[in-house]
Amino acid sequence: MSRPSVPASLKRRLFEEAGYRYAIPTCRATSALQMEHIEDWAKVQKHEFENMIVLCANCHARVTTGEIRKDAVRAYKRNLAIINGRYSLYEYRLMEAFYTKMREHPGEPLQAQVAENDYLHIKGMVDDGLLVLRRTPGGMWSFGLPISPMQALLTEAGKKLINSFFNGRDIEN
Ligand SMILES: [Zn+2]
């Protein structure tokens, strides 16, 4: 049986699910995004949303060899809907930066400076208790408005979510 091409609507849905990025957030590839079957095509013989994910060729090879486990790939897929649906792209980038810092400089404080008007970019994480905002006491004011940056500190819940997301474990359980 020859392999039919992936229908355009399914392709769009998969790319939207992944936010037009690789589904595995630790992937640093710069090659083209490609759609892969989680259970091998040879076994399933059909293109189904639930069994497909956007990966780079290298990650796909690591899934095939078992270096990246299939249950982790499924968790990455489940997490995508939550991460891309609930949080802004700014928050996604912040999670990436925090994850990198946790790995490369463990023990260092996990915080970001947030300008007053940027609060809305991180509101999803603040509302979910992943970040807490601290205002610098006696900061600068201009025309009655605070202009000093606030500190956004990552909470324990925030660390847990980021570690789960980047390591292929379900973030909601
Ligand atoms: Zn990859």
**Ligand 1 ion local residues (Cβ < 5 A):** 27, 29, 56, 58-59
- The pLDDT score that the predictor gives to residue 2 is 77
C-alpha 14 to ligand 1 mean position (Å):
16
Which residues does the chain have with pLDDT short of 70? 1, 173
C-alpha 59 to ligand 1 mean position (Å):
4
Contacts of 48 (CB under 8 A, 6+ apart): none
Domains of the chain in sequence order? 8-86 (no CATH), 89-166 (1.10.10)
- What is the CA angle 86-87-89, rounded to 5? 140
C-alpha 58 to ligand 1 mean position (Å):
5
Q: Estimate to the nearest angstrom the gap between the alpha carbon of 108 and the chain centroid.
A: 22
Express each pLDDT in 54-99 by its tens digit. 999 999 899 989 999 999 999 999 999 899 889 999 999 999 999 9
Q: Which two tokens stand for residue 88?
A: 């802004």
The DSSP H or E segment spanning 8 is: helix 8-17
